[in-house]
Amino acid sequence: MNWEVVMGLEVHAELSTKSKIFCGCSTEFGGEPNTHVCPGCTGEPGVLPMLNKAVVEYAMRLGLTLDCDITRVNTFDRKNYFYPDLPKAWQTTQLYAPVCRNGSVGGIRLHQIHMEEDAGKLVHAPNGSAAYMDYNRSGTPLLEIVTKPDFRTTEQVLDFLETLRETLLYLDICDCKMQEGSLRCDVNLSVRPLGQAEFGTRTEMKNLNSFKAIARAIEYESKRHIDVITRGGQITQETRRWDDNKGKSMPMRNKENAQDYRYFPCPDVPPVIIDDAWLEQVRATLPELAAQKRERYIGEHGIAPKDAATITVHKTISVLFERLVELTGQPKEAANLITGELMRHLNNTGTLPEDLQVDAGKLAELINLVLTGKINRAAYKQTMHAVFGEDVQPMAYIEQNGLLMDDNSDAVAAAIAAALAANPKAIADYRGGNEKTFGFIMGQVMKELKGQGNPALVKPALEAALADC
Ligand code: ADP
Ligand code: MG
Ligand code: ZN
């Protein structure tokens, strides 16, 4: 029997607003436990929420970009449950009027996007003797993006997440660090015999911390479903936890329908009206996205599609590229720098593009130095890595390390004389009409100059010397 896998995603994006969704506390990741908290974050009774306007605007940015219908009268609801990470005992979220509906990403339809608050974090003592609460994350703004059950393959899921990640990054609304939990994805999955119209019973998998884990989890869970059904069993609708070390999913809870949560409209947050003027104001600030940038780099700057893809892999990289183009007027040279030495540096040092710290002005200076023949390619690369690694001043580094091309015409003349004296056969060949030997002789002169020769000077001097001898 041929089986079809059906999936839908629930993606949580932590927003990069400075403050939380309902109070002024910082959203910064890390920090000593319980230092970014106020009585609201720790659920003390009587604290009233004050909605952060930026959260609504971030939701509008995403919704407008993904062609969603934007809800004009936004309300918030309480999702009630009891767990130590949620000291108020309800999560303020949007059930009845989510900020965005419909829309799509690369052919996958979105069900909705809603605003909500994150919970705190439970930290277990390593020996299991105690559990502690850190409420720094409590009240961090989230957008939950829910898709329709439109995925049939792992590849579609990963493509969707890659595009969504890119969009969130370019819109500057989420830093998308999966390892820090700022982008989290739950996979809902069911299987059905190919050709059957009805969907099968689904399970939802949580705790997927990387694209790789997602791919493995889908593989495992779809096999499990097919196995259970083939053996005459039934899939239980439940939430399962993916254990990436064991390579298995385990049941987590099986309650979870809307009634369990006793949702009701939150009386503390007044409705938020999005009028045309506000919507148009936000629309006017939407930046150029990765796909548009790629097209522009290819069309305007003649960059190869593969290189344009590398440059737009992260916003920090495309910002650097555009700055280099602005400073040097040399898009191809800038693209080569990024796809070559910069990528090598990131790989060698295990640096993530988002953590890259580099002074574009210094790299632009290096591009100008190599293009005007002041340094050769080897010195260019060496200095560039010193800029990446130790943030050196290019010119000071080049001088200290004797990397400036030798413009001393005495030294060039001496090197030419030495090379000519050492290679009588090549010279005879050249004069006999074999022009290919010129390159060889040129190489010998550069060797005499220990790689510091400036080809722009050496070449005409050597031509003149050969014509004379
Ligand atoms: P609930 O209201 O119980 O949270 P939803 O209808 O909102 O359920 O669906 C949650 C997620 O599960 C959505 O991403 C949806 O696309 C997906 N989904 C729903 N039914 C199925 C199914 N049978 N198989 C796979 N995914 C499904
Ligand atoms: Mg749901
Ligand atoms: Zn607070």
pLDDT tens digit string along 362-412?
999 999 999 988 888 999 999 999 999 999 999 999 999 988 887 777 788
Q: What's the gap in Å between 204 CA and the centre of ligand 1?
A: 8
* Residue 8 CB–ligand 1 contact under 6 Å: yes
**pLDDT band at 255; cut points 50, 70, 90:** low
Pick the atom of ligand 1 nearest to 257's CA: 3
Q: What is the mean pLDDT of residues 248-274?
A: 87
- Tell me how far apart the alpha carbons of residues 76 and 128 are, in angstroms, rounded to a whole number: 37
- Closest CA to ligand 1's atom 1: 257
**Residue 100 CB coordination number (10 Å):** 26
Would you place residue 458 in the very low, low, confident or very high pLDDT band (cuts 50, 70, 90)? confident
Check pocket membership of 191 for ligand 1, CB cut-off 6 A: no
Is the confidence at residue 350, as pLDDT, over 80?
yes
The crossing angle, in degrees rounded to 10, of helices 424-431 and 455-468 is 80
| pLDDT-derived band at 253, boundaries 50, 70, 90 | confident
Site to probe by mutation for ligand 1, drawn from 146, 153, 191 as the one with most ligand atoms within 8 Å of Cβ, is: 146
pTM, to two decimals: 0.79
Q: Which atom of ligand 1 is nearest to the CA of 190?
A: 24
Rounded mean pLDDT of 156-177?
A: 95
Report whether residue 149 contacts ligand 1, using a CB cutoff of 6 Å: yes
| Measured CA distances, 452 to 114, 347, 376, 387, 422 (Å) | 61, 29, 7, 20, 20
Which residue, 326, 348, 349, 345, is CA-closest to 337? 345
User: Ligand 1: does its nearest atom lie under 6 Å from the Cβ of 218?
Assistant: no
For residue 201, which atom of ligand 1 is closest to its CA?
23
Tell how far the Cα of 172 is from the centroid of ligand 2, in angstroms: 26
Interval between CA 49 and ligand 3 midpoint (Å):
9
Q: Which of 202, 218, 235, 237 to mutate to test the pocket of ligand 1 (most atoms within 8 A of CB)?
A: 202
E-only strand ranges, 247-324: 248-253, 264-265, 272-273
Q: Is the CB of 148 under 6 A from ligand 1?
A: yes
How much is the mean pLDDT over the chain?
93
Neighbours of 449 (CB within 10 A): 22
Q: How far apart are CA 24 and CA 179, in angstroms?
A: 25
pLDDT band at 258; cut points 50, 70, 90:
low
How far away, in angstroms, is 331 Cα from ligand 1 center?
46
Mind listing the domains of the chain with CATH numbers?
A: 3-281 (no CATH), 290-400 (no CATH), 409-468 (1.10.10.410)
Cβ(203) – ligand 1 distance below 6 Å: no
Helix ranges (H only) for 329-454 are 331-337, 343-349, 360-371, 377-390, 394-400, 409-422, 424-431, 437-448
Residue 260 binned pLDDT confidence (cut-offs 50, 70, 90): confident
**What confidence score (pLDDT) does residue 182 get?**
93
Q: Token pair of 50, please? A: 């004050």
Asked whether 317 and 353 are in contact (CB, 8 A), the reply is yes
Q: Decide: 220 and 245 in contact? Cβ < 8 Å.
A: no
Pairing of strands 248-253, 264-265: unpaired
Computed over its alpha carbons, how large is the radius of gyration of the chain? 30
